[in-house]
Amino acid sequence: MKPKVLAVVGPTAVGKSDLAISLAQKFNGEIISGDSMQVYRHLDIGTAKVSPTEQSLVPHHLIDILTVQERYGVQQFVSDCQALIAGIHQRGKLPIIAGGTGYYLKALLQGLQLGGHNSSSAEVRSHLEAELAEVGPEELWHQLQLIDDIAAAKIDAHNSRRVMRALEIYRVTGKLPSGQQNHPHPYDAYLIGLNCERSLLYQRINQRVELMMQMGLLAENEWLRKQGPNLPALKGIGYREFTPYFAGEQDLATTVSEIQKDSRHYAKRQLTWFRNQMDVHWYNLVERKEQITEIEQAVQRWRNTDEL
């Protein structure tokens, strides 16, 4: 019998964290953050971490585990989650993954073959990072497109981490990234997706960014840039948009507008990705709060069934 894993996914600003906490309280669960940026200590506002008070309601994992100088990728995420899921089940509780990067969740829940760490991979990765700094993300994406147009079509040209990972696979193994094989799904996973009407979603995203600014997002960015150059977090939404501001090339109002725009575009890509890549059961708690009952009933039915 496969271990059960519940996941709450969807775009930003639709109530995923609140739902995950509610379900964890009802079904004796522990929450694993699926967000690749919430692993960093001190980056609380731009990553939309749940507050310490909210974290105290149920156990949370993969939050504040690294310094901003450290790197965190899909292989480490999968390894960490596998260990956490096993431990949570041993404690007789339900693992609940809240939010997160779609590719990370797919790698974990569908057993995507990721390869291993070795010296040749490290060397290739170093070269790719140097190329990225020299030519930019779009040129790397065009290289991938020439090698494997199927893989390139599934990756945003500005997602340099995934572009480099795909190129790394090809340069180390000689195999096309699109030819990666999945292992049999290791978990009995149930995915709940939250969404709402698009104009309302975009309004909520804009308001969330404004709230982040009121909470101190500018100061958080000032702190981050004092920690060193070329930090992984500087590529994240809510942080990368401040680069021209600190260079004196852009005013603060424009910076806020850019964060809102990038957040809206990312939300749209998230929805498209999850709809095309994973089996998600969608709900709208923003406009139909009564659907919480439907969600709880669906989770209870899933928990009562066994998947071999």
Q: Which domains, and CATH codes, for the chain?
A: 4-112+186-303 (3.40.50.300), 119-179 (1.10.20.140)
For residue 33, pLDDT over 70 is answered with yes
Binding-site residues for ATP sit at 10-17
Q: Which two tokens stand for residue 76?
A: 């480490």
For residue 181, pLDDT over 60 is answered with no
Kindly calculate the radius of gyration of the chain based on its CA atoms and give it in whole angstroms.
20
Length of the chain (residues) = 308
Binding-site residues for substrate sit at 12-17
Mean pLDDT of the region 121-126: 75
Buried b (16+ CB within 10 A) or exposed e, 194-223: bbbeeeebbebbbebbeebeeeebbebbee
**pTM, two decimal places:** 0.79
Answer positive or negative: Cα dihedral of 105, 111, 116, 121.
negative
Mean pLDDT of the region 217-233: 95
User: What per-residue confidence (pLDDT) applies to 183?
Assistant: 59
Between 136 and 187, the higher pLDDT residue: 187
User: What per-residue confidence (pLDDT) applies to 119?
Assistant: 44
User: What per-residue confidence (pLDDT) applies to 264?
Assistant: 96
Binding-site residues sit at 10-17
